[in-house]
Structure 1
Amino acid sequence: MRLLTGRAADAGQADPGPLRRNRDFFLLWTGSGISLLGLRASTAAYPLLMLWYGDSPAGAGMVGFAVLLPQLVVQLPAGALVDRWDRRRLLIGCDIAGLMAMGAVVAMLATGRLWLPALMAAAFVDGTAGLCYRLAERAAVSHVVPASQLSRALGQNEARGQAAGLLGQPAGSGLFTLGPWVPFGFTALTHLLALTTLLFIREDLQGWRSVGTRTVRTEVAEGVRWVWRQRFMRAAAALIAGSNLLFQVLVLTLALIVKEHGGSVWSVGLIGLVSGLGGVAGALAGSRAAGRVRPFTVLAGSLVVWTVLMVPVVFTSDPVALSALLAGMSFAGALMNVVTGVHQVRVTPDSLQGRVTSVFALLGSGMGSTGALAGGLLLAAFGSRSTALGLAVAMGLLTLAAFAVPALRHDAAATDGRP
């Protein structure tokens, strides 16, 4: 058994004060944001590297597949390790692994070489480090903030993630114009800065636990069984998995649409910037909506918004219009992430936080790697317009499925996560 310590056990304090004065939360929030910013910049640079220098949409899809593959194959064991290992040391190890991977990419590109297998390997390592980092940080948040501020803290985390996407996309695109290795050097620097912030956190990032002899496989199975009993979140995660697959294809499709119509990497950066603004706004709205609006209402509404906004993508190549459309999609997605994330953390036992988060992440975003690979193949085979049309149709089918599953409405009403 694990015993709650630190802030997680101090849910009853009268006046915890504003989060901005919480030193340990600020350090954890800042370090994680810096690390995520670097990951977003390098992720944005991978397809640009293959599209503009490698002239290979298929290659862009393969690198995108490599950076997202950890979400499919590493997610579950990583969740068990987050619950088993010291979270502070795990966070530090993730930054070191990311730093080494990006250093290898910089060394390769600085010599004028572009070797796809090496790029895919580095992308996989950095993606794995980022995944483990996010799982460990999510599990640690309740130990540095009081329970009364958990919704606000998770909302700020989501806003930080959207802001990292907002800045990371144009940063990756802009740095790419200075040299193909520059965005990866920037990512290495962010890992170093994030590592420094971790060294100054005082609070314990997990409760005490007894020494056990169970295997990782047994612990993973325990997390899966717990999730399987949560019918609403199980069904919701399946729908989100399908939508995330479609969004991975959409991102690559937008980049190719811009390129085909004479746009530059700066146009791609503009789309990412405006999309990030929409995501930040959605995250801030989500921190207010959490506990007040039913999760099903947010989930179904997001699917409707995504379907409606995907249709115009088929008919326009204007970067400004594409930016506005993606911003609306990001607003809905970020709001939904906060509402469902708060629900999950509130209903999950602390001893299962890492494993449960990993299971939901696997169901929700593990298909992203498949989407990146499928996107490259679909674009190479059918072109950008036909692919965009297929995406709109597929999202519409997911929306219909959400309204056709009675368990989603009934279970959400019974377990909506309200305090």
Structure 2
Amino acid sequence: MPPGDPAKEKPALLRQNRDFRLWWGGTMLSAIGDEITAVALPLIVLMLTSSPLHAGLVGSVEAIPPLLLSLPIGMLIDRVSRRAVMVGASLLSMASIATVPIAYLMDGLALPQLYVVAFVNSLAATAYRIANTAALPGITGPHKLGEAASQSETIWGTSALVAPPLAGLMFETMSPATPFFLDALSFVAIAAAILAIRSRLGPAGVPPPLRWRRELTAGMRITAQLPLVRTLTVLTIVGDFLFAGIGLLLIVLAKESGATGFEVGTVFTAAGVGSLLGAALASRIELGLGLRTAVVGKHWLTALLFPLLLVDLPSWGIGLVWGLVALQIAVLNVIQMKYLMSQVHSDQLGKVQGFMTFLSKSSLPLGYALTGFLLDRFGSWNTVLAFEAVLLGLAGYALVGRGLRIEPDATKNSESAESGASDEQPQPSRPGSEQ
């Protein structure tokens, strides 16, 4: 690239990076919009039908695109402009969400429309998130991936803390159409922010000839071939599965302690605060302790904290324990994202992120169902013990896992050619090609 190319010359401080500020703003709007819709959509279904069943079914429709399409979406994102994918996904979400307030104001809102909106918006959100992560190394440069991962985790923690009460407030005090209207407008701003980014957001080279079967499984093969990425993936995905139904468990524990509805809500507020603190401290923790000590220590500390839920704690005590656990989870999420971006070549990040999305989304409904089954059959005490057994297993795996034994170079593959991580080698870039 010629001198002065913004994709290569990155500011020393991430906050001085214009492109990263645009990425951050667009991602924050996207995260808040997703959380607002996640609350407002079941609310409007309940208002329309008075049926919790339909509210649950609409939520289940949202789970279909990540399960069925994350692998082909990841493959696509490594072959086309990630900028185009993110802008297209934003505009698709905007068009889908905007139909809700329009139909509501025209007294034409119907349940089938909400099912379609849930599916289309989930599809667009899946494509946006995979492309968003795959594009980030090109925006930050290889030496700022840890800070970028921390900022990303902060975005999701902030949106989870702020957006749900905001959505409920708008729905109740303004109009059921208001959350959807503001969400639709936010997608226009997101598209504008992505278009204004100057860095290259697409794969650097000409993609090889398409081989469907090979490329659909490439994310799995790359993950399996990189010991550190493999170990962190196992820890993260098993954690996702285990804690998929943690909200249900915490509600049961709080109710058993005599908590009011407001006090139950504070338990989840504590989790949001813990997540934000973990995101802010993750890089310092890793730098101070080293990668292996940080990851192993996180899992043993979580395993030591969780049995405190066996004590008859008041709601604030339950919130404190879960907030501390949420802090540890956020630390692992930041570390996992950092080394995923640094160990996997940028031209293969879409496929790997698609594979990660598939694993994560597949684990959530199974984990939630398992939590419900354990609570129903064995009660909260034994459910906590079952969770603790898995946490101890994860802590043991982190201790002996081969991928954590060698401290990796955190910039290994960010800017260099792929060194054996994938079977598909990128071809030389076309002169002047713009992705």
- Structure 1 length as normaliser, TM-score? 0.81
8 Å contact from structure 2 (residues 79, 207) kept in 1: no
Matched, 1:142 2:137: yes
Correspondences of 1:11-410 after superposition (within 5 Å): 16-46=11-41, 61-107=56-102, 111=107, 115=111, 118-178=113-173, 179-252=175-248, 254=250, 270-290=266-286, 293-307=289-303, 310=306, 320-371=316-367, 378=373, 382=376, 386=379, 388-389=380-381, 391-405=383-397, 408-410=400-402
8 Å contact from structure 2 (residues 295, 332) kept in 1: yes
Unaligned regions of 5+ residues in structure 1, if any? none
- Structure 2 length as normaliser, TM-score? 0.78
Q: CA deviation at 1:332?
A: 1.2
- CA 292–262 in structure 1, closer or farther in 2 if over 3 Å, else same: closer
Q: CA deviation at 1:360?
A: 2.6
Matched, 1:412 2:404: yes
AA of the residue aligned to 1:332: Q
8 Å contact from structure 1 (residues 294, 412) kept in 2: no
AA of the residue aligned to 1:29: W
Deviation string 1:23-52 (CA, Å, 9 cap, x unpaired) is 111111111111111102222345566789
- CA 174–254 in structure 1, closer or farther in 2 if over 3 Å, else same: farther
Q: CA deviation at 1:84?
A: 0.9
8 Å contact from structure 1 (residues 223, 356) kept in 2: yes
Unaligned regions of 5+ residues in structure 2, if any? 412-435
Q: CA deviation at 1:317?
A: 9.3
Distance (whole Å) between structure 1 residues aligned to residue 40 and residue 299 of structure 2: 28
Distance (whole Å) between structure 1 residues aligned to residue 312 and residue 116 of structure 2: 35
Distance (whole Å) between structure 2 residues aligned to residue 352 and residue 206 of structure 1: 11
AA of the residue aligned to 1:354: G
Q: CA deviation at 1:182?
A: 3.5
Distance (whole Å) between structure 2 residues aligned to residue 82 and residue 250 of structure 1: 33
Distance (whole Å) between structure 1 residues aligned to residue 72 and residue 373 of structure 2: 31
8 Å contact from structure 1 (residues 27, 201) kept in 2: yes
- CA 146–268 in structure 1, closer or farther in 2 if over 3 Å, else same: same
Distance (whole Å) between structure 2 residues aligned to residue 58 and residue 256 of structure 1: 21
Between 1:190-199 and 1:315-324, the stretch displaced more is: 315-324
Q: CA deviation at 1:155?
A: 1.6
8 Å contact from structure 1 (residues 275, 330) kept in 2: yes
SS in 2 for 1:214: coil
AA of the residue aligned to 1:39: D
Q: CA deviation at 1:365?
A: 4.4
Deviation string 1:90-129 (CA, Å, 9 cap, x unpaired) is 11111112122322344566649673x6544423322222
Indicate the percent of aligned positions where both proteins have the same amino acid: 24
8 Å contact from structure 2 (residues 227, 402) kept in 1: no
8 Å contact from structure 1 (residues 43, 67) kept in 2: no
Q: CA deviation at 1:328?
A: 2.1
Q: CA deviation at 1:233?
A: 3.2
Structure having the higher Rg:
2
Distance (whole Å) between structure 2 residues aligned to residue 304 and residue 407 of structure 1: 9
AA of the residue aligned to 1:189: L
